[in-house]
Structure 1
Amino acid sequence: MRGLIGRDAELAVCERLLADVPQRPVALVVDGPIGIGKTALLNAAAELARERGYQVLRCQPTELETTLTYAAVADLLEPVVGLASDLPTPQRQAVEIALLRHDEPDQVADERALCFATRGLLGRSSDPTVLVIDNVRWLDAPSVRVLRFALRRITDAPLVVIAARRPDDFDPRHSHGPSEALDIERILPPEAVHRITVGGMRTGALHHLLRDQLGLSLPRQLLASVATASDGNPLFTLELGRAISALPKLPAPSRELPVPSSLTGLIADRLSGLDLETTQALRLAALAAPASFDVLAAASEQDVADALQAAEEAGLISLGGGQVRFTHPVYASVVRAGIPDPERRRLHQRLADVVTDVERRARHLAAASVEPDEQLAATLEDAARLASRRGALDVAADLAEQAAEATPEGSPNAPRRILLAGQSRAASGDLGAAQHWLTMHLDTLPLGHDRAEAYLLLATSSWHADDSAAAEWHATSALDAAAGHPIAEGRVHAHLTVMAPEDRWLDHGHRAIELLRGTDEHEWLAFALFQTFYSEILNGQRPDLTMLDEGLALESSRPGRQHSTTVGIWYKAIDDFDAARARYVAMLERARDAGDEASVLELLPHLADNEFLAGDWELAARYVDQATALAGELDVPTTQADFVGHLLAAYRGDSAEARSHGTDVMRRGDEAGDTWLARVGMRLLATAEVTSGEYVAAADRLREISGQLDKMGHVEPVGVRIELDQLEAMSGSGADDAELAAYVKRLDERHEVIPRARLRLAAAVGHGLIASLRGTPGDGAALVEAALAEVEGEPLPPFDQARAQLVAGRLHRRARAKAAARLALDAAIAGFEKLGATAWVERAKSERDRIGGRPPAPAGLTATETQVAKAAAGGATTREIAEALFLSPKTVEANLTRIYRKLGIRSRAELGAVIRG
């Protein structure tokens, strides 16, 4: 909103404060250190206030203005100076003098008159007013006195004060002192003052900030280093970004960041004047950060206690609990940047001699070394593997890269360490950095397992970035590199079960199983079994559940090593949403525990899709939001999550958004030659068109999708649920009954191979539409109603059920069966409302409105039956009804059975619709 990045929570506070015009002055105090984004937030708040009809008066004093007189008051009053003509003469003259508008420039303003004038101008304005003060630290003292006087005495005006300050603004060492500060909290009543503390921005927000402000998109791990160095401070982040942009190439994630001179200047006063002992202690602390006092004392050549105390008094570090911490990471960066290289290496060696932590010791040894060294490389490799076992994947990737770089040329251990670095970087979620590293070292790896593994990592990284063409190329290159190495070949074939063209999946799957059976590659054999199971289903074969069971058994032999989403796709295909949810949630928890964000990003869209189908659209939307946020942080697309999100948008009434996104996705797919991506876009467009009743366009698009699937041999398109859309589009666009009959025949055949309630229902809808085309809509409605009764209690997407009820209602209406039509349509409306499908609620209501007449009353019920019906429709349980009406539970159930029979309904949901009428 308003171009403000990463401050949604803070802006929400401003929105709440400005939502209703106050009857008396209120204030919002915005706290935060220099560069944290207070001004940007105040700019957004001011814009929001103007949109809400507030008059905005603003001052933005600087350090140079503290010695001026009434500079801030003049800025604030300038827009309302026209109202001064109504003030008493002394007050008007005081305002003119303060604003330098008096005819006699040498006149001195009467401060008391100016105080009353300011009170009058702020308190008498006809419009609600927002006073924006950025930054109270630099307000000139005369303006502070005038504003104190005025704000204390305005008690009944619609005035909002928004003021930004730094945490130390009332510290006499850093400001003009409490006696001359504008302390809003002492001026207004406590209940009228609200506060925001603006903290550091999240990594994802910093990514957008750098991209928007500097056009700089950093690899994820380098971005994380920037976020750590700046502590999320946007000003410091931008300065670091500018310094990085000026480098000939990006620094490695494990290397020290450049420190721009602008930051050095910002804290020069804190560093100047330190004696040699304090400077040396700070250098040691900066290289060890975070460090314990004991480590610094052991590594130092002097007594560091007095030196560290002096640094604390200068505000650079804090001491407590035996730990030495810099008060801001940028201070440590500036100190490190000022250490000469020989001194830096010497201090790192001293630290390596005293630290006991394996990872820290390895890092210090690496920083102290100049030449490659096999022993150092082995130490770094061990530290990397230890960090990986601890779940510190970013740390592991840094150490693995350092291990590879420390390895002497020609060492037989070099290929292993190069691969370890690439694997670690990919596991940390920084796919771009992994691709860069592997591409840079690819030619140094020998053919066979090592080269093939590197190509596979490149293929996987491309796959997660939605670049299927690059993924296929890398995977095919891996197959060439693996020639003559059966296990490596088997792993590559397993990858190609998803990365090759879809008509080749099955061949690669069978070959992978052949090569990997009997080996220790249980994970990849299980993956190949799952993919082959899936591919056979796509080709129209009956599910080979023994293959699925074999894969699951292999997984269970290695607990916690599931990495195939295909099993969940199968569970979704048969509408076993509980089983799919259980698998995906377990995989998601493991991925999060391991810090494997690439897998997290893969799993969130599957969970979103599962909850969309299961009918929990709110939870689906939350998964979409999580995936979108993570994709933004990783700077990769998330096509499937976007698809679910825009599908929800279309069903909730925003077809335009879905249409725009679908068009863009289809265009990108066509340009890249990616048929899957283009198909996703087409499917979303067709959904928007069906929802909007544009049946001709939707029918053509859905025919094209079906034709593509036929061309690929996908007899059973497991993940493509277009049946009800295609039936409605064909029927609504004037397709003849022969075309509909051919499509319905295929649905019947698919249901015969893999029985599913949704296909049984879709086929019944098709038969019902055909009957209507042939002039017997009543028979068609009966077919759909019968299918609804048959599938009751079976796994079924609630949206499909409501759509079938809508079709039944429409066919009943065409057959002039008004009562039956109303019952079916009421049930459809209830189903759509429960989901939040606003667009479909309106469609069903529009269909119901076409019935005409008044809804029939539940006639024919006895007095007892009427009481039972009303209680049940209101949500009471059988036992609650029995107790309220002094009946036995069996009598209540008997009454309900008679009620359903008399009204021609089957459930309490339909009963509620009848009673509500």
Structure 2
Amino acid sequence: MRFPADALFGRENETAFLQDRIDGLSRQGGAVLVHGEPGIGKTALLEEAARHGTQGRHRVLTTVGVESETLLPFSGLHQLIFPFRSLIGDLPNNERDALQAALGITDAPVHDVFLVALAALNLLARAAADTPLLLVVDDVHWLDGASAEVLSFLSRRLESEPILLMAAMRDGYPSHLTRADIPGLAVGPLSAEASALLLDERAPGLARVARQQLLKEAAGNPLALTELATDAPGHETISPDAPWTPMSRRLQDAFTARLRTLPDTTRRILLTAACDDSPSLTEILSVASPRPAAAVTAADLAPAVSARLVETAGDTVRFRHPLMRSAIRQAAPAALRREVHAALARCLPPGSDRRTWHEAAATVRPDARLADRLEAAADRAYRRGGAADSVFALEQAARLSDEASQRIERLLKAADQAVDTGQQHLLTRLLDAATPWATTPQQRARIQWIKGGLEDGMRDASEGTALLTRLVRTVMAQDDHDLAVRILWSAALRCFWSEPGDAARRDIVALADALPFPDDDPRILAILAYAQPVTSGSRVLTHLRRAAGRTAGDAQADRLVGSAAVLVGDFELAEELSEVSVPGLRAQGRLGLLARALGAQAWSGAQLARLSSTIPVAEEASRLARETGQTFLHGINVATEARTAALQGRHDSAMELAAQAERIGLPVAARPVLATAQIARGLAAMGAGRHEEAYAHLLRMHDPTDPAHQPALRCYALIELVDAAVHSGDTRRARSVIAEMETAASRSTSPALRSGLCYARAVLADDNGAEALFERALADGGCAWPFDRARVQLAYGQWLRRQRRVTDARVQLRAAREAFDALGTAPWGDRARRELLASGETSRRREPDARDRLTPQELQIAQMAAEGLTNREIGQRLYLSHRTVSTHLHRVFPKLGISSRAELASVFPPVR
């Protein structure tokens, strides 16, 4: 069914697009972000789409972001899912508890907004099982931060659901949805023809000159054409000499002019409605009444309805456009606005957060008790998952604090929490406000530490490790050891992302030693591993296993120990512990930390060439890092995806992904991103037989002046470097690197470093000593990991063939070929086949595995299903609805040539 052609002037294409998305809900869900300037017609499009959805027997749910409600965590979500509250009890326990806490049904804290989002997804999916859902969200830029985060999460996961999310927002406003990569519908100005038709419909008697001038000034903005035409006398023109003003200001001025024609009582009701965070007509009329004996009534609001400023329905008042609310507030003197907020506060229950907000808005002078109540409200908001809402409350508490010490502490607390929101502009505003009040060295240092909280300090080099270690000493002197270890961890992370120098690294280790924590404390081990991965390598490796035993069941501690294992080159342990931490982080909804755990698991798995398990993990790590705003972690994960593509032999894809990762990391010289990208490029070039190119890529990691130089990660690409050097015919620089690594090995027992050196010693040896070194590499466990061992066997077989020991060569080359085929590292399997052919033995080509036809997410879901997990269990792990999981499995079966879930076990035997 098409929209009526005359429903909206000049919006045939936009309405047709939205109609098609609605009509296709039975096949595919999703999200659309309608965006444009104020008054361009976004709300009208949503309303038309909602009518079409209703006519198509879809269930339509709506919510509207209101500027005055941005401080109420999950208020927007509450409006959207309230009709389905009876289904909350059917959710899994952890999701039920999280959603009830978010909606204020219980007083439990909200540990992570993403668990709430998963609960909302499953609730809506269940509600849509019988009737498709159309979720309409207007003014999404004014939703509370927690609700916006949930909608952003939902928007990426509705493709397989009969649910369409349609959201509208103003251009130029920050929102979580703008980072969600969902399809956008840009709403531009009306055409000249449509503008003329609309104006003639709304103001048929307008004088010709005024009509022409208004068409020019409105520039295709429907609200301007409608509202300015209403206010324009037929005989007047707009002076062409008048200074230009933005259309939004022109409209506000028009609304303000209309306001002046209304009775005083009506204007007071409108100002009360504009300041209130509730649309309740009863509440607004009660507050607007000067005294009980002179109560105002709905009839007093009638002139505003006639002036088309507001609409009423039942006990609800709604402004016809948000600009009208803004115009009314801005037209009122500040003192009068404060008077209205004070009246609103008096009508609300004592102790309620709403009363506190309005009292704060009514107060100019410092008020210690009100500031304390605002801080308590902030703590409640934070417990409910509203980090952005808590931040604003703390900012207001700081404004009303009567002591400078309280003001700076509240601003710093707000800034620390603002890091969780990922909003740079908010963090900058708070730190700018805090800076003039920071009178002590510790406070100034804390400002620099917090500034570096976003993206591990990579956006601003001013908060270097020296400043952070000075702050650690100050905090330690006050016996605040938990804060000290947090700050020291920030300093250690700087050593991972950038290069502060040996002195800074030694200082961090010395401070870690001075903290009163045991040697196997996961935080201390992580600090040591990140600060001095080589020098402290043996020490960290000694305690890692014991730390892992201590942290069993503590997902966050397991993640830390796993990440430490990556830096010191124990990839078996790193993969194991990172994988162990994942279920707990999933259950807790800690998607930011989950992205890091999956990233460590994927990096380690790529190093071990465990492709079947690593490919889906790397894809999920990359996706979650992007969703949670961790730009440079996303870069590393993209580079890891490039590595797995290179190992599979997808050379072009590997190069494209490496280039994408480099674009992320290069502007700030994010060393681990660039180092991983060079490994991927080296592997891809070698797989394609371009050995000199591969050598050039890999050598970059070992040049201290190159931003791809990362002290730890460069130690774990020695096999690649030496392989490329030998095949390019230039081993001089590689030998220099290996000599340096031999020195490093005297200080570290890193398994990865040992494996690389075992390979290098054998391959770079002269013919007299090579055989003994090859045999030693294969015999003493130095190259025990299957991919490393197979590469030793390949190199050994090549050497034996050159010595004309063909029979012995074939033994090694066959073993290498079988290992490479089992791992799925096709380019290395092909190399082994070519060497066997040169020895006189032919090999059957490796047939592509059916699993290679699956996308990374399909592969992950199929593996979980093969392990016996139900669709609902898989969905809980991957933050998908069970319907989405079912859709993926139905795509998987024909790709694998199977017809049932029971057959998956034969395709996916246990990995380990």
Shorter-chain-normalised TM-score: which range?
0.5 to 0.7
Quick one: structure 1 residues 738 and 776, their matched pair in 2 at CA, closer, same or farther if it must change by over 3 Å? Answer: farther
**Greater shift in the superposed pair: 282-291 or 304-313:** 304-313
Q: How does 1:295-694 map to 2 (within 5 A)?
A: 299=287, 301=289, 331=321, 334-339=324-329, 340-341=331-332, 344-356=337-349, 358-408=352-402, 410-461=403-454, 463-465=456-458, 467-468=460-461, 470-472=463-465, 475=468, 478=471, 487=480, 490=484, 493=488, 495-499=490-494, 501-513=500-512, 515-517=514-516, 527-532=523-528, 535=531, 537-539=533-535, 542-544=538-540, 565=560, 567-570=562-565, 573-574=569-570, 575-577=572-574, 579-582=576-579, 584-585=581-582, 588-589=585-586, 592-593=589-590, 605-613=599-607, 614-615=610-611, 616-627=613-624, 629-630=626-627, 638-653=634-649, 655-656=651-652, 658-659=654-655, 679-680=675-676, 682-694=678-690
Per the alignment, residue 106 of structure 2 pairs with none
* Aligned counterparts of 1:170 and 1:639: Cα–Cα separation in 2: 40
Gaps of at least 5 residues in structure 1 are 1-26, 47-133, 139-163, 173-194, 209-213, 243-257, 858-911, 913-917
Secondary structure of the equivalent of 1:412?
helix
Match of 1:827 among 805, 809, 818: 818
Q: Deviations for 1:187-233, whole angstroms, at most 9, x for unmatched residues?
A: xxxxxxxx99796699799999xxxxx99876xxx5359999xx998
Instruction: Report if aligned partners of 1:828, 1:844 keep a CA contact under 8 Å in 2.
Output: no
Amino acid of the structure 2 residue aligned with 1:539: T
* Aligned counterparts of 1:698 and 1:30: Cα–Cα separation in 2: 61
Per the alignment, residue 722 of structure 1 pairs with 717
Quick one: structure 1 residues 389 and 668, their matched pair in 2 at CA, closer, same or farther if it must change by over 3 Å? Answer: closer
* Aligned counterparts of 1:642 and 1:856: Cα–Cα separation in 2: 33
* Aligned counterparts of 2:414 and 2:662: Cα–Cα separation in 1: 36
Secondary structure of the equivalent of 2:538?
coil
Q: Deviations for 1:124-176, whole angstroms, at most 9, x for unmatched residues?
A: xxxxxxxxxx99x99xxxxxxxxxxxxxxxxxxxxxxxxx974436999xxxx
* Aligned counterparts of 1:226 and 1:510: Cα–Cα separation in 2: 41
Quick one: structure 1 residues 498 and 819, their matched pair in 2 at CA, closer, same or farther if it must change by over 3 Å? Answer: closer
Residue-pair matches, total: 645
Secondary structure of the equivalent of 1:424?
helix
* Aligned counterparts of 1:446 and 1:622: Cα–Cα separation in 2: 47
* Aligned counterparts of 2:709 and 2:647: Cα–Cα separation in 1: 30
Q: Deviations for 1:822-869, whole angstroms, at most 9, x for unmatched residues?
A: 743542452343xxx565566556556656665599xxxxxxxxxxxx
Amino acid of the structure 2 residue aligned with 1:260: S
Per the alignment, residue 108 of structure 1 pairs with none
2:767 matched to 1:774? yes
* Aligned counterparts of 1:648 and 1:45: Cα–Cα separation in 2: 41
Quick one: structure 1 residues 607 and 431, their matched pair in 2 at CA, closer, same or farther if it must change by over 3 Å? Answer: farther
Instruction: Report if aligned partners of 2:455, 2:630 keep a CA contact under 8 Å in 1.
Output: no
Quick one: structure 1 residues 473 and 524, their matched pair in 2 at CA, closer, same or farther if it must change by over 3 Å? Answer: farther
Q: 1:730: Cα distance to partner?
A: 2.3
Secondary structure of the equivalent of 1:726?
helix
Q: 1:503: Cα distance to partner?
A: 1.5
Q: Deviations for 1:272-301, whole angstroms, at most 9, x for unmatched residues?
A: 999999987776555444566775576564
Q: 1:400: Cα distance to partner?
A: 1.0
* Aligned counterparts of 1:451 and 1:754: Cα–Cα separation in 2: 40
Per the alignment, residue 248 of structure 2 pairs with 260
Q: 1:422: Cα distance to partner?
A: 0.9
* Aligned counterparts of 1:717 and 1:436: Cα–Cα separation in 2: 36
Instruction: Report if aligned partners of 1:407, 1:414 keep a CA contact under 8 Å in 2.
Output: yes
Q: How does 1:62-73 map to 2 (within 5 A)?
A: none
Match of 1:816 among 787, 806, 813: 806
* Aligned counterparts of 1:801 and 1:707: Cα–Cα separation in 2: 28
* Aligned counterparts of 1:541 and 1:704: Cα–Cα separation in 2: 23
Instruction: Report if aligned partners of 1:285, 1:324 keep a CA contact under 8 Å in 2.
Output: no
Gaps of at least 5 residues in structure 2 are 21-40, 56-131, 142-147, 156-168, 191-217, 222-245, 290-294, 846-906, 908-912
Q: How high is the TM-score relative to the length of structure 1? A: 0.54
Q: Deviations for 1:361-412, whole angstroms, at most 9, x for unmatched residues?
A: 222222222334333222211211221222211110111111112234x543
Say which structure, 1 or 2, has more relative contact order (CA 8 Å, 6+ apart): 2
Amino acid of the structure 2 residue aligned with 1:403: A
Secondary structure of the equivalent of 1:693?
coil
Quick one: structure 1 residues 822 and 324, their matched pair in 2 at CA, closer, same or farther if it must change by over 3 Å? Answer: farther
Per the alignment, residue 168 of structure 1 pairs with 51
Amino acid of the structure 1 residue aligned with 2:685: E
Instruction: Report if aligned partners of 1:730, 1:740 keep a CA contact under 8 Å in 2.
Output: no
Query: What is the percentage of aligned positions where both structures have the same residue?
Result: 16
Q: How does 1:785-864 map to 2 (within 5 A)?
A: 796=785, 799-800=787-788, 803=791, 807=795, 815-817=805-807, 820=811, 823-824=814-815, 826-833=817-824
Amino acid of the structure 1 residue aligned with 2:508: G
Match of 1:223 among 162, 172, 175: 175
Instruction: Report if aligned partners of 1:459, 1:473 keep a CA contact under 8 Å in 2.
Output: no
Quick one: structure 1 residues 591 and 646, their matched pair in 2 at CA, closer, same or farther if it must change by over 3 Å? Answer: farther
Q: Deviations for 1:7-48, whole angstroms, at most 9, x for unmatched residues?
A: xxxxxxxxxxxxxxxxxxxx99999x98999947979999xx
Secondary structure of the equivalent of 2:526?
helix
Quick one: structure 1 residues 778 and 824, their matched pair in 2 at CA, closer, same or farther if it must change by over 3 Å? Answer: farther
Quick one: structure 1 residues 391 and 29, their matched pair in 2 at CA, closer, same or farther if it must change by over 3 Å? Answer: same
Amino acid of the structure 1 residue aligned with 2:637: A
* Aligned counterparts of 1:497 and 1:368: Cα–Cα separation in 2: 45
Amino acid of the structure 1 residue aligned with 2:325: V
Q: 1:774: Cα distance to partner?
A: 2.5
Quick one: structure 1 residues 743 and 428, their matched pair in 2 at CA, closer, same or farther if it must change by over 3 Å? Answer: same
* Aligned counterparts of 1:630 and 1:624: Cα–Cα separation in 2: 10
* Aligned counterparts of 2:737 and 2:513: Cα–Cα separation in 1: 39
* Aligned counterparts of 2:614 and 2:397: Cα–Cα separation in 1: 47
* Aligned counterparts of 2:409 and 2:545: Cα–Cα separation in 1: 34
Q: 1:478: Cα distance to partner?
A: 4.5
**Greater shift in the superposed pair: 640-649 or 506-515:** 506-515
Quick one: structure 1 residues 622 and 417, their matched pair in 2 at CA, closer, same or farther if it must change by over 3 Å? Answer: same
Instruction: Report if aligned partners of 1:605, 1:624 keep a CA contact under 8 Å in 2.
Output: yes
* Aligned counterparts of 2:3 and 2:813: Cα–Cα separation in 1: 57
Q: 1:463: Cα distance to partner?
A: 2.6
Q: 1:775: Cα distance to partner?
A: 8.8
Quick one: structure 1 residues 512 and 166, their matched pair in 2 at CA, closer, same or farther if it must change by over 3 Å? Answer: same
Per the alignment, residue 182 of structure 1 pairs with none
